[in-house]
Amino acid sequence: MRAYYEVEEAALNSWPALQTSSCSGWLVKTNRGYTKRSNSVQPLAHIEADKERLQQKIERCEEIYNRSGQPAIFKITPFTEPAELDAVLAKRGYEIADPSHVMVASIGRLSPQDASGDVLSSGEPTAAWLQLLDEWGGCGEEALRITSLMFEASQQPRQFAVLHAEGRPVTLGLAVLDGLQIGFYDLLTAPDCRGRGYAGKLIRHLLSWGKENGADHAYLQVVSGNKPAESLYARLGFKEAYPYWYRVQKS
């Protein structure tokens, strides 16, 4: 399981936040409320050993989020430190949200393809990409503005891509490169175009981009129980690596 630690680090690096602070080894990400990925504590290192200090550390994180009117959120993975954090948060009344899992694949075992004639991509989120994200994902104007701000300061190589077919955009997605890892985010298909293989085609195109830029492994994150997505990714060659979930402070 520890072999997947670098995947978790890549995911942490690839989805930025407007502000990140440190709390005795934990990273505290705040992003004006948009996405739990960017508004949660990433407890990948724990400096303080005793339980009393752990409670104080949690309270310090709570203060950071509560000052901005948000509940404190912790991302729980197999790499969480200390290991008892999930149980401690449960005793404090924190509730589980968005149980998910990470799927991984070796690019050498996948089938990248060049679909450059059908895909429009950019290193920055274009107005057209953001409009489709809102249309298909229901993000809202403020979330789109935050998305643009998030990636303005990020130096990670990435591709905001839209696949066109039948004379129209049908699928969008984001690929971010971190070292040898390429991660996929915001994979969405137009509601009336689902089940036609468009998402798989876009992923394979982005895999080609990743391979050309030095990636040898790929990962993505899927909410547990999303059977269509799980089946698609499995057909492409991804396998389940490890679970994760969020603990959200009870209001």
139-174 pLDDT, tens digit each: 888 988 998 898 887 889 999 999 999 899 999 999
pLDDT digits (tens, 9 = 90+) for 41-79: 999 988 777 667 899 999 999 999 999 899 999 999 999
Q: Please name every residue paired with 160 in a beta bridge, in sequence order, or none if there are none.
A: 122, 174
Q: Please tell me the predicted confidence (pLDDT) of residue 3.
A: 75
Percent with pLDDT over 90 in the chain: 81
Q: Are strands 73-76 and 95-106 parallel, antiparallel or unpaired?
A: unpaired
In order of 37, 70, 96, 147, 158, the CA distances from 32 in angstroms are 12, 8, 21, 11, 23
Report the C-alpha gap between 212 and 99 in whole angstroms: 33
Q: Is the pLDDT of residue 97 over 80?
A: yes
- Environment class of 202 (CB within 10 Å of its CB; exposed 0-12, middle 13-18, buried 19+): buried
Residue of 227, 223, 222 whose CA lies nearest to 203:
222
The yes or no reply on domain 105-243 and CATH 3.40.630.30 is: yes
Q: Is the pLDDT of residue 112 over 90?
A: no
For the chain, the structural domain boundaries read 2-100, 105-243
Name every residue whose Cβ is closer than 8 Å to that of residue 69 and which is 6 or more positions away in sequence.
Answer: none
pTM score, two decimals?
0.92
Q: Is the pLDDT of residue 126 over 90?
A: yes
Residue of 119, 101, 75 whose CA lies nearest to 225:
101
Q: Please tell me the predicted confidence (pLDDT) of residue 117.
A: 57
Q: Please tell me the predicted confidence (pLDDT) of residue 45.
A: 86
pLDDT digits (tens, 9 = 90+) for 181-212: 999 999 999 999 999 999 999 999 999 999 99
Question: With bands split at pLDDT 50, 70 and 90, how would you rate the model's confidence at 82?
Answer: very high
Q: Please tell me the predicted confidence (pLDDT) of residue 166.
A: 85
The tokens of 224 are what?
């547990």
Mean per-residue pLDDT of the chain: 92
Question: With bands split at pLDDT 50, 70 and 90, how would you rate the model's confidence at 109?
Answer: confident
- Environment class of 134 (CB within 10 Å of its CB; exposed 0-12, middle 13-18, buried 19+): middle
Q: Please tell me the predicted confidence (pLDDT) of residue 2.
A: 66
